[in-house]
Structure 1
Amino acid sequence: MSEDIGQKWDEKYLSRKDLSGKPADVLTSNLHLLPKQGIALDLACGPGGNAIFLAEHGLDTYAWDISKVALSHLNHTAVNKGLGIKAEYRDVIKNPPETASFDVIVVSNFLDRSIIPDIIAALNPDGLMYYQTFTIERTKKPAPDNPAYKLNPNELLGLLSGLTIRYYREDGDTGTDEEYQGLAMVVAQKCN
């Protein structure tokens, strides 16, 4: 099963003209909350835009994904930039992060509700989770076609109810900034 999913993502990445992953808006917009040092994870990293950003800002960075194509691209970019990112082929659903392992975890454009408790548990005390993904109100691409991979309105707040919310944005389908319609973004902290 993991190999089938990995192959599907490999094919998607091979078909793209541009694999330069940009960091998630929730991360770049909340740089002021990012610690100056610590251990970070870009979970389901794809081409690794978040991982590059985290490493460039001084964090010891891990990046996990099920696509060997995306990880190869990330490794190449990291070497060219002189960044020591630890990229790992990993099915994060079968092998979620270990408890109390990371000071920062970033998840963008990925949703599997079953591992959210594991992701929360993987945060160290005072650790931060930056999470950005699609909601069912997302009508334009990019967005998954399968509604199981989209959040319901305010669902992310409920999934992270054990954490302290430091930032939240969910425009739904309102407003004039179409880029943010149908996205949920949160920075949440695991307080002692």
Structure 2
Amino acid sequence: MARLVSDLQHKWDRIYSQREAADPKPAAMLSQYSHLLPKQGRALDLACGVGGNTFFLAQRGLTVDAWDISPVAISQIDQRKGPADNIRTSVVNINDGVFAKNYYDIVTVSYFLDRQHIDDIITTLKPQGLLFYQTFTREKAQPGGPSNPDFLLKKGELLSLFSQLTPIIYHEEGLIGDASKGLRNEAILIAQKPAMLKPPLN
């Protein structure tokens, strides 16, 4: 397992080192639905990359924990954030049991899928907390994204993975209509943790 984590870290370090240092942009789930965010609270940007979601949340008054496996990505956030005191960065291996219970008002995940940590994400949300999740689907209108199906969502899968949460927004256009337009190859889920969790679907 340690070797796998090391290989994964090196892979993403290399990717982030080679990318141009443009200002990071938030995922569509945040830019399109920012009106659903609270005016204050604690947020987790999981697998944060270079911090597009992190900076977007911090600019709206939230205190953000930015986690990524890549020290290079975290270093780039640290360089950009300057003296901002509402962004806390950490190089994190999520397999180390790092999720606090009922801790975050907001959790964001974009372009990352590890199904074994779905329960951790649900657990770390506070009751009434919001999940913003966006990642790639197996149904592709155009080439792009991962090719490994382990990192791609089946149709409607986000809804079933987070069936314990109450869906607020679900967006998956698939191949319907003019596939050259709209948000294709991806699914978006915004969902709220209820005060009392319902049992997961079998």
- TM band (smaller chain): over 0.9
Aligned with 1:133: secondary structure? Answer: strand
Corresponding letter in the other structure for 2:152: K
TM norm structure 2: 0.89
Q: Which residue of 1 aligns with 2:105?
A: 103
Q: In 1, distance between residues paired with 2:102 and 2:28?
A: 25
Q: Which amino acid aligns with 1:5?
A: L
Query: Alpha carbons of 1:156 and 1:89: their partners in 2 closer, same or farther (altered >3 Å)?
Result: same
| CA RMSD of superposed structures (Å) | 1.6
Instruction: Determine whether 1:22 maps to 2:11.
Output: no
Q: What amino acid is aligned across from residue 53 of structure 1 in structure 2? A: F
Aligned to 1:61, the other structure's residue is in SS state strand
Change (3 A) 1:70 1:141: farther
Instruction: Classify the secondary structure of the residue corresponding to 1:42.
Output: strand
Whole-angstrom CA distance in 2 between matches of 1:19 and 1:3: 26
Q: Percent identity?
A: 42
SS at match of 2:177: coil
Deviation at 1:22, TM superposition (A): 0.8
Indicate whether 1:153 and 2:155 are aligned: yes
Aligned 8 A contact 2:62 2:86 in 1 = no
Partner of 1:37: 40
**Alignment counterpart, residue 124 of structure 1, candidates 116, 123, 126:** 126
Match for residue 55 of structure 1 among 55, 58, 61: 58
Q: 1:79 matched to which residue of 2?
A: 82
Does the aligned pair in 2 maintain the 1:168–1:184 contact within 8 Å? yes
SS at match of 2:105: strand
**1:185 aligned onto 2:179:** no
Q: Which amino acid aligns with 1:10?
A: D
Q: CA deviation at 1:141?
A: 5.2
| Aligned counterpart in structure 1 of residue 145 of structure 2, from 143, 149, 160 | 143
Matched to 1:29, the amino acid is Q
What secondary structure is seen at the aligned counterpart in 2 of 1:5? helix
Shift of the 10–51 alpha-carbon distance from structure 1 to 2, 3 Å rule, reads same
Structure 2 residue matching 1:6: 3-state secondary structure: helix
Match of 1:69 in 2: 72
Cα displacement (A) at 1:28: 1.3
Shift of 1:84: 3.1
TM-score normalized with structure 1 length: 0.93
- Other-structure match for 1:4: 7
- Distance in 1 of aligned mates of 2:190 and 2:132: 5
Q: CA deviation at 1:94?
A: 3.5
Q: Tell me the CA shift for residue 127 of structure 1.
A: 0.2
Structure 1: distance between partners of 2:30 and 2:85 = 18
Kept in 1, the 8 Å contact 2:141–2:174? The answer is: no
The total of aligned residue pairs comes to 191
